[in-house]
Amino acid sequence: MSDTPLIKGRQGGSNPKSIFNLIITTYLLNSLSYKITGMTQPTPRSSVLIVDDLPNNVRLLSIMLTEKGYQVRKAINGQMALNTVRSLIPDLILLDINMPDLNGYQVCEQLKADEKTREIPVIFISALDDVLDKVKAFQVGGVDYISKPFQGEEVMARIENQLTICRQKKQLQNEIKERQKTEETLEIYLHAVSHDLRNPVIGMSMILNNLIKNSQGETKEVSRKILQQMANSCDRQLTLIDSLVETRQNDLWGVSLALKPLSLYEIGQQIGQEWELRLKENQATLINNFSPDLPLVNADAHHLWRVFENLLANALKHNPQGIIITFSARLEGNYLRCSIADNGVGISETQRKKLFDRYQRGNNNNQISLGLGLYLCRQIIHAHGGEIGIMNNDEKGSQFWFTLPY
């Protein structure tokens, strides 16, 4: 099976019409051999615009493409090409360079300057074989360059390659749009679900807390202890809902920070006071070793509070009663390295590697958790420009650490 070279202009003393007819005959015989031998031909579905000032070249390329099933349109100069594209955008353009009025480079530049046509792939097809000519073709926006004379099969392969890239690109763009729609729908759904879940829980929590405050000792129908357990359950459910919503919002838009100078010592004191009851329930001791002389950290008060609460809750949740939890910090360059250490059971190396992943839960199956607390901590600390990690203490227990700028 022979290949079909594209011949532009006269060669020697041969009759150009005879040469052209010979080329057409050869190409048709090649196409026939495809069918006779049962070779698989491409299944084109696209339109191609051929732009060349020599009618014989246009005719040959048109026959080649039509035979392969492509929809073909033609233009014999640059301005006609631009007008044709504006009336109906093709899937690909085969563009000659040396043409009267507008050359191929100028045509391509105008196409790429127009938002409606800039995505059309342009393959330059030219007798210019200098490296600088090829470089300029790519600089003005061409996706490929074919030198004349060439083989017909090469043209087909390069066209199909670029059209495949375009199809894959469009498919990817559609998938991205669909994903964005899905995320928007999910965000609306998440907001609605969190709203529907929060309202009854908040109402129940208010009622229970009022009952607890107004009860003296044991009530007739239900004990104060049971009321307290119900109230704690409401608090845990609210925490789960808040973590789910906050994590999702952070994933979509990032953590929004309201930075201001904060004292770690004062934060440690406040947490100790607010967590006093829960610490007593777990027979745990909190030691605040944050020095009052530490530099102030530049952080978001709400988010930093969430980090301390999540790390403190994690220590109580995954250790037996009676543990000692210690807050401490030291200077490391332009950062403060804070640690929350306990003398509990410690965490295995396997767990430590994935502890900050989303939906990663500890080994305590008796605790209700979505596995978002430590993932949320990492989001917050990274948003502050710091790092967070965990290590086992030399003697016993675990030590969570994170850094904050000051």
pLDDT digit string (tens) for 243-257? Answer: 677 767 667 677 778
pLDDT of 383 reads 92
Better-predicted residue by pLDDT, 161 or 193: 161
As a whole number, mean pLDDT of residues 231-246 equals: 70
Find, among 345, 321, 355, the residue nearest to 397 by Cα: 345
Tell me, yes or no, whether 269 and 326 share the same domain.
yes
Q: How confident is the model at residue 294 (pLDDT cuts 50, 70, 90)?
A: very high
**Same domain assignment for residues 310 and 328:** yes
Mean of pLDDT values over 275-301: 92
- Averaged pLDDT for residues 78-103: 94
Both tokens assigned to 155: 């043209």
Angle at alpha carbon of residue 226, lines to 224 and 231, rounded to 5°: 95
Are 276 and 380 in the same domain? yes
Looking at residue 395, what is its pLDDT? 66
Q: What is the 3-state secondary structure (H, E, C) of 230-254?
A: HHHHHHHHHHHHHHHHHHHHHHHHC
Which one is predicted more confidently, 371 or 347?
347
On the question of pLDDT at 44 being above 50, the answer is no
Residue 102 is assigned to a structural domain of this protein: yes
Shared-domain flag, residues 195 and 312: no
Query: What's the mean per-residue pLDDT of the chain?
Result: 80
Domain assignment of residue 303, yes or no: yes
175-209: pLDDT as tens digits: 998 888 877 767 765 666 665 566 667 767 777 77
| Same-domain check for residues 121 and 198 | no
Alpha-carbon dihedral 76, 81, 87, 88, rounded to 10 degrees: 90
Please indicate, yes or no, whether residues 131 and 189 belong to a single structural domain of this protein: no
Q: Is the pLDDT of residue 367 over 70?
A: no
Q: Looking at 84-88, 148-152, 208-212, 217-221, which range is the least confident one?
A: 217-221
Quick one: pLDDT at residue 9? 37
Question: Is 73 found in the same domain as 58?
Answer: yes
Domain that holds residue 195: 178-253
CATH number at residue 310: 3.30.565.10
pLDDT tier at 164 (50, 70, 90 boundaries)? very high
More confident residue, 169 or 351: 169
- The answer on pLDDT for 43 being more than 50 is no
Residue 163 lies in a domain: no
Q: What pLDDT score was predicted for residue 139?
A: 96
Higher-pLDDT residue of 235, 220: 235
Residue 171 in domain: no
Query: Would you say residue 328 has pLDDT above 50?
Result: yes
**Is the pLDDT score of 339 beyond 60?**
yes
Give yes or no: residues 37 and 121 share one domain: yes
What tokens were used for 368?
């209700």
Query: Among 253, 286, 302, where does a domain finish?
Result: 253
56 and 119 both lie in a single domain: yes
Residue 151 has a pLDDT of: 85
Residue 113 has a pLDDT of 95
Percentage of the chain modeled with pLDDT above 70: 74
Question: Last residue of some domain: 209, 225, 253?
Answer: 253
In this prediction, residue 13 carries a pLDDT of 43
Whether 29 and 137 share a structural domain:
yes
Q: Which of 4, 47, 8 has the alpha carbon at shortest distance from 22? A: 4
Count other Cβ atoms within 10 Å, centred on residue 108: 26
Last residue of a domain, one of 253, 280, 305: 253
| 37 shares a domain with 143 | yes
Residue at 339 is within a domain:
yes
- Asked whether residue 283 is assigned to any structural domain, the reply reads yes
Share of the chain above pLDDT 90, in %: 44
Number of domains the chain contains: 3
Is residue 394 located within the same domain as residue 279? yes
Q: For residue 77, give the CATH number of its domain.
A: 3.40.50.2300
For residue 167, is it within any domain?
Answer: no
Question: What is the model's pLDDT at position 197?
Answer: 64
Give yes or no for residue 21 having a pLDDT over 60. no
Look at residue 169 and tell me if it is in a domain: no
Outline where 69-148 has alpha helix (H).
Answer: 78-87, 104-113, 131-139
